Amino acid sequence: MPSPSRLSWDDEMTVAAAPERVFPLLCPVREYDWIPTWNCQMIHSRSGVAEDGCVFQTPVPGGGTMTWVVSVYEPPRRIEFTCVAPELFVMRLKLSLERGGAERITLRWRREFLSLGEAGDRHLAEHRTEAAHRESMALLERNLREYLAGTA
């Protein structure tokens, strides 16, 4: 049996804001504030926002649904998600915020995909390309910067 496809990306962006201002935006509810195309369905959250054990779902490009679970929650330094798109892949998303001055942080993103079989291999090859990833990250960074500048 062939090994499942694996894919990972490391990205970082530096923004002019304190971690305490940016961290709350890394939440399925607050992402509506700064990501115009964001779409999710909250499944479980005691507080109504991101927290340890929070569960929500998003559409998967090409069809289907991905379930996200907040697996690490350490405000305002780190949040991690473990995500499953049934029959396609498992993804881990790790975000860390590092203070670079009084009002400046570096936001590090690590995405790791593991295909769950042939359909997942095809999905990763078709929808998770380097070009699509770079475009998505550039858009996220632009949206975050514009939001932070408009709410200063």
Q: Is residue 144 part of a domain?
A: yes
Write down the pLDDT at residue 152. 58
Q: Is residue 94 part of a domain?
A: yes
Total domains present in the chain: 1
Q: Is residue 48 part of a domain?
A: yes
Q: What mean pLDDT is predicted for residues 17-46?
A: 96
What are the CA-CA distances from residue 52 to residues 18, 31, 44 (Å)?
Answer: 22, 17, 10
Q: Is residue 54 part of a domain?
A: yes
Give tens-digit pLDDT for 84-107: 999 999 999 999 999 987 789 999
| Domain around 88 | 6-150
Q: Is the pLDDT of residue 62 over 90?
A: no
87: left (phi over 0), alpha (psi -120 to 50) or beta: left
Reported pTM = 0.93
What are the CA-CA distances from residue 99 to residues 1, 50, 76, 106, 110 (Å)?
Answer: 45, 21, 10, 7, 18
Q: Is residue 92 part of a domain?
A: yes
Q: Is residue 1 part of a domain?
A: no
Q: Is residue 68 part of a domain?
A: yes
Q: What is the CATH number of the domain that holds 142?
A: 3.30.530.20
Q: Is residue 59 part of a domain?
A: yes
